[in-house]
């Protein structure tokens, strides 16, 4: 089956009250781990690439690897640009064959965000590609944009309605207290589900996206630290909260940090336990297996089994 857009996935998700997992990719092992897991669970999946990941892996390599994933599986796969910084990057991805792009105008004023998003929507829609936009600011780090935690700006539900009506975007990322990276909460995890509910009341037919939604899996943090890493006090969004978000109308849940942790923890383990090993396949295989395991777990237990086609 060729690459699909997120349209059908999101329709099903909104009807049945669960979210689809969107996983960040930047190399072969990560792509294989994610796709093998989704394939085994017979679940649709969104593969997403940031602009810095494109720079790292290079567009032709990325496209060929995703093409290989599509050719060797039977599940619906969408290829999505994560945090598109400008019109040009979105256009490049649309032209390269992505089925979905995000234009992240959240760093701009409301009016500038509307204008930029409209421009991307117009181009993407003319090529059959769907567009995710963002309104409100997440705490933490988004690509090279650093938003101080206390500047985090929750999404205004009324503005969300106006934004979607004026831009024609297909889905909307909102800020309800999540943040990117491994340090999401100092104390208790807390998300503003009240804001999510109000947004959903205003735009019930628009799929909602949750960024910064890694669990920051404690076992992986522990494993990293045990084998020489230094990521103390890392904390993410508990699985129960992610399930709740799905029930309340979140259709897409973004995961990158958990994949990074799975890869790094497992490579560290091999390096620590077998210092004489220098065949990359010997440490990249367990890393790939670990990506498959955590993605499989999430699809089965967090993104709900009704995820299956």
Cβ atoms of 43 and 118 within 8 Å: the answer is no
- List binders of Zn ion among 170-229 (CB under 5 A): 211
Nearest alpha carbon to residue 137 among 154, 124, 150:
154
Q: What is the three-state SS of 92-146? A: HHHHHCCCEEEECCCCCCHHHHHHHHHHHHHHHHHCCCEEEEEECECEEEECCEE
Q: Is 143 a catalytic residue?
A: no
Among 80, 118, 137, 180, binds ligand G3H (CB under 6 A): 180
Closest distance of CB 47 from Zn ion, Å: 14
By CB under 6 A, tell whether 132 contacts ligand G3H.
no
List C-alpha distances in Å: 160 to 116, 155, 208: 15, 7, 11
Chain Cα centroid distance, residue 210: 8
Mark 179-218 with x for binding to ligand 13P (rule: CB under 6 A) and - for no binding: -xx-----------------------------xxxx----
Q: Which does 114 bind (CB under 5 to 8 A by kind): ligand G3H, Zn ion, ligand 13P, none?
A: none
Nearest-angstrom CA–CA distance, 188 and 236: 10
- Cβ closer to ligand 13P: 182 or 267? 182
Among 21, 81, 256, 303, binds ligand 13P (CB under 6 A): 256
Closest distance of CB 215 from ligand 13P, Å: 8
- Cβ closer to ligand 13P: 116 or 213? 213
Cβ atoms of 34 and 128 within 8 Å: the answer is no
DSSP-assigned letter for residue 179: B
Cβ atoms of 199 and 155 within 8 Å: the answer is yes
By CB under 6 A, tell whether 215 contacts ligand G3H.
no
By CB under 6 A, tell whether 255 contacts ligand 13P.
yes
Q: Where along the sequence are the contacts to ligand 13P (CB under 6 A)?
A: 24, 82-83, 180-181, 211-214, 254-257
Enumerate the active-site residues: 82
């Amino acid at each position: 089956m060729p690459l699909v857009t997120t349209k059908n996935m999101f329709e099903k998700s909104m009807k049945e009250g669960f979210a689809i997992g969107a996983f960040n990719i930047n190399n072969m092992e990560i792509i294989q781990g994610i796709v093998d897991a989704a394939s085994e669970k017979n679940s649709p999946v969104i593969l997403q690439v940031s602009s810095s990941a494109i720079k790292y892996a290079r567009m032709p390599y990325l496209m060929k690897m995703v093409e290989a994933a599509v050719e060797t599986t039977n599940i619906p796969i969408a290829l999505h640009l994560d945090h598109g910084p400008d019109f040009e990057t979105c256009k490049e991805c649309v032209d390269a064959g992505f089925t979905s792009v995000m234009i992240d105008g959240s760093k701009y004023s409301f009016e500038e965000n509307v204008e930029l998003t409209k421009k991307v929507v117009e181009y993407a829609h003319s090529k059959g590609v769907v567009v995710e936009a963002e309104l409100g600011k997440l705490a933490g780090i988004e690509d090279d944009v650093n938003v101080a935690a206390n500047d985090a700006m929750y999404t205004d539900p009324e503005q969300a309605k106006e934004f979607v009506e004026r831009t024609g975007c297909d889905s909307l990322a909102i800020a309800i207290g999540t943040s990117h990276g491994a340090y999401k909460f100092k104390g208790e995890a807390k998300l503003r589900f009240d804001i999510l509910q109000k947004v959903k009341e205003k735009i019930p037919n628009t799929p909602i996206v949750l960024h910064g939604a890694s669990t920051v899996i404690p076992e992986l943090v522990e494993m990293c630290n045990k084998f020489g890493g230094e990521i103390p006090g890392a904390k993410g969004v508990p699985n129960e909260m992610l399930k709740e978000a799905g029930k309340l109308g979140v259709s897409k849940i973004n995961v990158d940090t958990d994949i990074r942790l799975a890869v790094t923890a497992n490579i560290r383990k091999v390096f620590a336990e077998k210092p004489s090993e220098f065949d990359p396949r010997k440490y990249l295989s367990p890393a790939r297996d670990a990506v498959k395991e955590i993605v499989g777990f999430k699809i089965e237990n967090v993104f709900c089994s009704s995820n299956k086609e």
